[in-house]
Amino acid sequence: MARTTGSDGERTEAAVREAAVNLIARYGYEAMSMRQLAAQVGVQAAALYRYFPTKEELLFTLMREHMEGLRKAWEHARPADADPAEQLAAYVRNHIAFHIERRHATHVSNMELRSLSPDRLTQILRMRTAYEKELRSILRDGAETGVFRIEDTGLTAMALIQMMTGVIVWFRPGERLSVAEVMATYLSMTMRLVGATSAGEERHVHEHARLRA
Amino acid sequence: MARTTGSDGERTEAAVREAAVNLIARYGYEAMSMRQLAAQVGVQAAALYRYFPTKEELLFTLMREHMEGLRKAWEHARPADADPAEQLAAYVRNHIAFHIERRHATHVSNMELRSLSPDRLTQILRMRTAYEKELRSILRDGAETGVFRIEDTGLTAMALIQMMTGVIVWFRPGERLSVAEVMATYLSMTMRLVGATSAGEERHVHEHARLRA
DNA sequence: GAATTAATTGAACGTTCGTTTTATTATTGC
DNA sequence: GCAATAATAAAACGAACGTTCAATTAATTC
C-alpha cells in the first residue's frame, strides 16, 4: 500500500501535533516512541518524517509555538494604561486562563526542557525569561509606586509564577471548581502576597464578585 | 575479571543511589541508561542488578526514601504545642530547607512519577498526600481560630506547596541569596498570602530579623 | 487522460536498551 | 590455608528504538 484515499498533509500534521502533545504530556518525551505516536494518528511511523525531520524537532516545534502563544495571549490581554495593581491582575488572569486551557502543552514545555539540544534550550528559555520579565517589571513598578510591599522583586516573581503554573498539576475541568473561581482565588492570594494596598484590594474584591456572578 | 580489590557491597550501593539521583535529575529517568549509571559508579552494568532487581525498582526506592525523609523531617520539626501561625512557620521553614538541601532528589520525586507502575505510583502519592494533609490541617485550624483569612483551604495548600517547592527550579547554593534569606522571604510571603493577623506578622518579622543576623 | 506531485506504506538498517547467565576473583569465617 | 560466600566482569539475549529508503497509490495539473 501507499498513499491512502482522503489523505491530506495539513490534516495529518495537525493530528500529529495534537497526538504528540497528549502522548508526551502523559508518558514523557523519551517514553513516547515514534511508532506509538504514529499509531495514535493512524499512520505508519515513516509518515511522520514527512512533517518533522527528527523527534527532537517535533518537540521543539511544540514548545516554541506554546511559548509564542503565551506571548501573544499576554500582548492581547495586557492593559494599555493601567496602574500596577490592574496590570498584575491582568497578568494573573491571563496566565491562569492560558495554562488551564493548555495544560498538556504547558506540561510538555515545563517538563521536557532537558530533552532539547543546548541551542534549542537556549531559545525556549529566552522566550520564557522575556515573559517572566514582564511580571518583574509590573512588580517593580508597584513597589516603587508604593501600591505593593515587596521584599525581593525577582524572588516574588518566581514564587508567583510557580504558584500560578501549579494549577495544571491538580486542576481538572468540570470538577469542584470552575476556571473563574480558581482565577478569582489566585488573584486574591496574589494581591495579598504582594501586599497590595487597600485600593488594589478593593478593586480585586469587586473583580472577585464579578467573576463569581 | 570479576570481584575487584577493595570492593564493598554497602559502599557500592550507596554510590549507585547517589549517582542515580544525580543522573536522573539531570537527564531524566528514561534518558539515563543502566550502562551510563554503572560507568558513573565505576562498575559494569550487570553489577547494578546485585542491588536493585530492575531499573524501576531503583527509581521507586529513591522516591520512597525521599518521601520518608520528608515525613521524618517534618515529624522532627513540628512544634508540639503551638498556635497555627507558629506551626505554619515551622512547616514553611522545614519544607524549604529540606527541598533546597535535596534539590536533586526532589526533582526526581516530582518529575518521574509517570515512570512508576500504577501501584507504586499510588504508594508514593499516598505519602505525598499525607504530607500535604498536614499543611491543610494547619491552615484549617488557623482559619477557624481566626488567625488566618483563607478562602479555600485546599486550594491555598496547593498554591503554597507549589510556590515553596518551586525554589528548587531557580535556587543555586552560593549565589545571590542564602538559604536563610530565601526561607525568610518565603515565610513573609506565606504569612501575607494566608492573611495572617498582626500577631503572626509580628512573630514573623522577629523571625526574619533573627535569620538575617 | 497522461504526467506530475503529494502522501503514505512496508521493510530494513544499525544502535541501544534493560536484563540474564556464567565465570572469575576478592574477602570472610573457621 | 581452606571452604564458603560476596562482588564483580564479560558476553550475550531479544526487543525496541529513531530513522532511511524504495516502492506504490491518490490527488492534482495541464
Domain ranges of chain A: 1-52, 54-212
Residue A100 in contact with partner chain B when CB distance is under 8 A:
no
Determine the nucleotide nearest to B58 by Cα–C1' distance.
C18
Q: How many helices (H) and strands (E) does chain B have?
A: 11, 0
CATH of A54-212, picked from 1.10.287.3510, 1.10.1740.10, 1.10.357.10, 3.40.630.30, is 1.10.357.10
Residue B4 in contact with partner chain A when CB distance is under 8 A:
no
- Cα→Cα distances A87→A73, A77, B120, Å: 14, 9, 44
Q: Chain A residue with minimal CA distance to B160?
A: A163
| Chain B residues whose beta carbon lies within 8 Å of the beta carbon of residue A158 | 166, 169-170
CA pair distance B163, B166, nearest whole angstrom: 5
CA pair distance B159, B132, nearest whole angstrom: 11
Angle at B69 between CA B104 and CA A111, to 5 degrees: 30
A57 CA → C2 C1’, Å: 39
A35 CA → C2 C1’, Å: 37
Locate cell 516574588: which residue?
A156
Region B200-208 average pLDDT:
48
Given this model, what pLDDT does residue A193 score?
Answer: 97
Residue A172 in contact with partner chain B when CB distance is under 8 A:
no
Task: Identify the CATH number of the domain defined by range B55-212.
Answer: 1.10.357.10
Picking from B28, B115, B189, the nearest residue to A114 by CB comes out as: B28
Per the structure, the residue whose CA is closest to nucleotide C11 at C1' is A46
| Chain A residues whose beta carbon lies within 8 Å of the beta carbon of residue B162 | 162-163, 165-166, 169
Q: CATH second-level architecture of B1-52?
A: Orthogonal Bundle (1.10)
pLDDT band at B198 (very low <50, low <70, confident <90, very high): low
Picking from A111, A156, A192, the nearest residue to B111 by CB comes out as: A111
Q: Chain A residue with minimal CA distance to B171?
A: A155
- Cα→Cα distances A149→A139, A153, A191, B111, B125, Å: 9, 10, 10, 34, 37
CA pair distance B51, B68, nearest whole angstrom: 20
Cα dihedral A196, A198, A200, A202, rounded to 10, equals: 140
CA pair distance A25, A19, nearest whole angstrom: 10
What average pLDDT does the structure give for chain A? 91
The helix/strand/coil state of A201 is: helix
**Is the Cβ–Cβ distance between B163 and B183 less than 8 Å?**
no
pLDDT band at B200 (very low <50, low <70, confident <90, very high): very low
pLDDT band at B133 (very low <50, low <70, confident <90, very high): very high
Per the structure, the residue whose CA is closest to nucleotide C17 at C1' is B33
Grid cell at residue B35: 550502562
Given this model, what pLDDT does residue A38 score?
Answer: 98
What's phi and psi for A132, nearest 5 deg? Answer: -70, -30
Determine the nucleotide nearest to B8 by Cα–C1' distance.
D7
Grid cell at residue B173: 547554593
Distance from CA of A183 to the nearest CA of B (A): 11
Given this model, what pLDDT does residue B144 score?
Answer: 95
DSSP conformation class of B108 = H
**Is the Cβ–Cβ distance between A187 and A87 less than 8 Å?**
no
> If 0-12 CB within 10 Å is exposed, 13-18 middle and 19+ buried, where does residue A117 land?
exposed
pLDDT band at A173 (very low <50, low <70, confident <90, very high): confident
Chain-chain contact of B158 with A166 (C-beta, under 8 angstroms): yes
How many interface pairs between A and B have CB atoms less than 8 angstroms apart? Answer: 80
What's phi and psi for A25, nearest 5 deg? Answer: -65, -35
pLDDT band at A6 (very low <50, low <70, confident <90, very high): low
CA pair distance B23, B10, nearest whole angstrom: 20
Tens of pLDDT along B152-177? 999 999 999 999 999 999 999 889 99
**Is the Cβ–Cβ distance between B154 and B136 less than 8 Å?**
yes
What number is the ipTM of this complex? 0.89
Region B133-154 average pLDDT:
96
For the beta carbon of residue A20, count every other beta carbon within 10 angstroms: 25
pLDDT band at A1 (very low <50, low <70, confident <90, very high): low
Q: Chain A residue with minimal CA distance to B33?
A: A30
Given this model, what pLDDT does residue A2 score?
Answer: 74
CA pair distance B190, A111, nearest whole angstrom: 26
Looking at chain A from residue 103 to 122, which residues have their Cβ under 8 Å from any Cβ of chain B? 111, 114-115
B58 CA → C21 C1’, Å: 22
Given this model, what pLDDT does residue A109 score?
Answer: 97
The single-letter code of the amino acid at A40 is: Q
B31 CA → C11 C1’, Å: 28
Given this model, what pLDDT does residue B205 score?
Answer: 47
Chain-chain contact of B186 with A114 (C-beta, under 8 angstroms): no
Region A89-116 average pLDDT:
97
Q: Is the pLDDT of residue A198 over 80?
A: no
Q: Is the pLDDT of residue B99 over 50?
A: yes
